[in-house]
Amino acid sequence: MQLPDEHWMRQAIQIGETVRGKTGDNPHVGCVLVEKNQLLVKGLTHPPGQHHAEAHAIHQAQELGLDFSKLILYCTLEPCAFVGRTPACAKTISEVGIRHVVVGIRDPHPRVNGAGILIMRNAGVEVKEGLCVDEIRESLQDWLRRFEH
């Protein structure tokens, strides 16, 4: 039997897979926003300079007028921690009032690698990490290879 967190993370993996090869140099990340074990919003990574999966989900949730404090965000890869072509997703998550985040794996990018999780935890967000790790590593293997030494 699947636990709820695993179920939602697998949903996020499937969503990320729908944009495999369509995200430029960004990883094909999936994200879901859940309230009371009900899927409310799906987010996926867009090409460079456009929304990452988390920002895509947050934007949709804002349009729907959802109460972020009641939502759990599940994302396959740790939210980014730096401003580049887009704002830092970890900071955005913290600022909108999401209180619970479940991260599949840490982002090995040198400018992230735990920093996104730290930003969220320092802002009072409860972060659980390390869910469906093997499945996510398999899904993102081509992107992850960039950071192997």
* Residues in Cβ contact with 67 at an 8 Å cutoff, skipping those fewer than 6 apart: none
**Active-site choice (6, 17, 54, 138):** 54
Tokens of 51: 């929304």
Q: Is 6 a catalytic residue?
A: no
Q: Which of 74, 108, 84 is nearest to 6 (CA)?
A: 74
What's the CA angle centered on 87, arms 81 and 88, to 5 degrees? Answer: 15
**Catalytic center residues:** 54
